[in-house]
Structure formats: C-alpha cells, structure tokens
Chain A
C-alpha cells in the first residue's frame, strides 16, 4: 500500500458470480431488465419493512449459493452491511447462515468497503472465497432518517430516493476468472461543512473528489484510462458539481463518467429527486448492470467509487455537519 492505494499484485482476486434482488420501483427503472430478481411487493408479507429487508438480504445470499452450487461451508466469510441502526439487517440475515461474518459500515459506501476488505483477504491468501453483500430499503431508511411514510410532507428538489434491494458479489481467489479487482484506493473522511440533511450529494462530493484525485495521482492514470468511472449515489446535480470541480484540478471526467444513483431511476418520471441513494444503490448497479457489461466485453476497465454520507439522526439534530467518504475500486475484465 502506498498513499491510500492498494495493489492486488497477485492478480487473482476475481468475481465468480453476482446476485441482485431489486424492489418494484427499481424494477420499473431503466436497469430493470438487468436485475436477477425483481420484487412485486416490498413488504413481502412480513410484519415490518425491517423484516422484509432482512428477508431480501437472506434471499440474495441464498440465490448466489444456489447459482454457484456452493454450500455455506465453501464460503470463508461474508462481509455485509446496511444503513439501519446497529446494522440489524445484515446481522439478522447472517444468523440464518453458518458462515463467519464481518459487519461493515461506511453508510452508502459500505459496498466499497466490503469489496476492499474482501479483496485484501483473498490477495493475502487468508481466505479463498468470500461474499460481499449490502442491502437497503426505502421504507426502513425513510423512517429512520426522515419522517413516517404516511406523513403528508414535500420532498425538497435535492432529496434522493433510497434504493430498495440487496445485492451480493462472490469473490474467489482464482486467476482464471474474467473480471478481477486489481487495485483500490481507500477514502478519507472529508467534511466541507454541508449541513442540509437533504443535500447528501453535496456532502459526499468533496469525498468523492478527494478519493478520485488521490487514485489518479497514485496510479499515474488519467480518467480516460477507464471505460467507466462510477460514483455511488451523488445524484444528478452533485455529480455535475463533481465534474465541474474536478475539472479545475485538471481531471476531465467526460463521457465515461456516470453516477449509480442517476442510472438506477428515470429521475423525472419516477419522481425521485436527484436520484437513488442507499447501501444497495451502487451494489445493484454494479452487480446487475456493470458486471454484465464487463462480461459482454462492452466495458474493460471500471472504477467504482461508492460514496457515503456519514450521518445519523442524532448528529444532524445536534447541529453537526455531514462528513462524506468514498472508496475507489478498480475492476478490470480480461
């Protein structure tokens, strides 16, 4: 590791399989046909939305085991996370499996954190097969961070829509897999003093910029090295802000740049404000859409930069600013 960037030199951290379950609204979005499963109803006949999210998380891990015909015994560890307090969804999901579990939390950047942790374990040889999974649910997040669902209030134009769904990536130490994780830049917590809870995009933009610039400097790569650079959930306005600000630093994010939160919904038609957010946002977009494109050969080199706003309801009520974090993961298709 040098200056935040880790190179997985053995070149054997590969993606064996991915699985996703998306909510009804996500299924109606532009990426609907890429998701492996789409729910018809986001309560799943459960008593609460928290239980429903746990069930989705359990199902997605079961799906990936079924797809690969592996048993829990074959998996060395699961790195899982979500955004509910004390990470109850991942923890409760993991009590269904006989697999060692490490909980990861970096808000909506948790998926990136899971991938980096898992890749280190594989590259160093401590583990052979690990699952990285995250989930989020609109109704559970809305209740925890904002207002009750039935409250008749308006959303500001800056607000984002928490993605309902869960996704997981099965990583294996294997030189022959088509898509590999080759390096990663671990982000720092960056706080530029944004206080508006509805403006999470602006809170995360400085973190994304910091990680991207560090990554480009460390690897001596230009943005055009990648076929696709994807931030996690900055939303439409903030991703344009990022483009503008990073240009002043001499890096041009052009056609090859996009944001998972923007990709996952038809922003105008589905009335989601600036776009999607949540732990499942970058996860679903990567595991369903990007991974598929990489297998097809449409994308060769992808830089995935999941972003997270590190807030809680208490911290914002007590007048704290909103720090952000972003991790960059470089994926290359052979």
Chain B
C-alpha cells in the first residue's frame, strides 16, 4: 500500500517543528518550574529548621502537585504546556497535569468507570515502567550488594 515516492514528497514539502525555538522555550519553562520548586523548598526549610531535609523534599513535591492540580482545573496549565512543551511535561507538574486532565474530562462518565478508570490513561505507562525499573534495580541490588550505595 505504501507509496514511497509520495511519502518522500510529503516529508520534503510539509512544514516541520521549529526545534530550536521549542527547545529554548522548554528550557526556560522547565527551569522556571525548578526555580519555583527550589523557592518553596528554601522557604519551608527556613520556617521548619528542625524537619529533616527528605521530608521537606516530599512537602515541596506535594505543594507543586497541588498547584498544578489547581492550575489544570482552572484551565491555565494547558496554556503553560502549549508554550513550554517538554519543559512543563517532564517535571513533576507535568505528571500531575497528565493525571488531573483526564480525570476532569472523564468525570461525566461517572466516578468509578469514568474518573477512576481513566485517570491514568496518560500517566499509566510512566507508573508501570517506573515500577518495572525499580524491580530490576532491586534485583540488581540483591545480586550485587552495595552496588547502589554511595
């Protein structure tokens, strides 16, 4: 069925993404999100000097996810994503957005079969592969003790 000549023409004639521009935008957006995260982290640490750093990391992530959830709900995050591309997708906020967006969309099909069933349609692969990777790392750590210790 494939018409090689036509596909070649299509590749040549059709407009392409402006990679340089999108990369700069992604860098700036991703960087800004990280700066905001660092600011939240530093503020928390200043006000809670006795809490261990690991816990403050968790608080920071939770706050970022909460902010993204709200921004997605009021229809702002998709505009950030349109500008930032990968910069706002790769960060934890992008993950939060990919869970909240389908949840909002599928709420109309009911809470169980709509919202809950479709919540992870986009984030699902990330979770599955994340767990799979941690299983592999776990097995490696079991076979070679001390491999992942600093």
Contact = CB atoms under 8 A, between A and B. Distances in A.
B78 A150 contact: yes
B9 A241 contact: yes
B89 to A, nearest CB: 7
Given A150-B78, A157-B17, A158-B15, 13 more contacts: A149-B105, A151-B98, A152-B77, A152-B78, A152-B79, A153-B89, A154-B81, A155-B82, A158-B14, A193-B2, A193-B7, A194-B10, A206-B3
Interface residues of A, number: 30
B105 A150 contact: yes
B88 interface: yes
A143 interface: yes
A153 B108 CA distance: 22
B108 A47 contact: yes
22 contacts: A48-B108, A148-B102, A149-B78, A149-B105, A150-B72, A150-B75, A150-B78, A150-B97, A150-B100, A150-B104, A152-B89, A153-B82, A153-B85, A191-B1, A192-B1, A193-B3, A194-B10, A201-B14, A206-B6, A241-B9, A245-B9, A321-B1
B101 interface: yes
Interface string B69-84: 0001101011111101
Contacts of B98: 151
A258 to B, nearest CB: 18
A191 B22 CA distance: 32
B6 A192 contact: yes
Given A151-B101, A154-B22, A199 B10 contact: yes
A152 B82 CA distance: 6
B87 to A, nearest CB: 10
A201 B15 CA distance: 12
A199 B1 CA distance: 18
A148 B105 contact: yes
A238 interface: yes
B150 interface: no
A147 interface: yes
Contacts of A191: 1
A237 B14 contact: yes
B8 to A, nearest CB: 11
B122 interface: yes
A244 interface: yes
A318 interface: no
Contacts of B75: 150
Interface string B99-116: 011101110100000000
Nearest to A142: B105
A202 interface: yes
Contact of A150 (B9, B13, B77): B77
Interface in A229-252: 237-238, 240-241, 244-245
A156 interface: yes
A112 to B, nearest CB: 23
A143 B94 contact: no
B1 A151 contact: no
Nearest to B83: A154
Kindly list the 3 A-B residue pairs having the minimum CB-CB distance in the complex, ordered from nearest.
Answer: A152-B81, A193-B2, A192-B3
A211 B69 CA distance: 49
A238 B81 contact: no
Contacts of B85: 153-154
B54 to A, nearest CB: 29
B95 to A, nearest CB: 11
B13 A237 contact: yes
Contacts of A199: 10, 14
A143 B105 contact: yes
Contacts of B78: 149-153
Q: Which of A148, A240, A245 has the most CB of B within 10 A?
A: A148
A156 B17 contact: yes
A194 B145 CA distance: 50
Q: Which of B6, B77, B80, B98 has the most CB of A within 10 A?
A: B6
Interface string B11-37: 001111110001000000000000000
Nearest to B105: A148
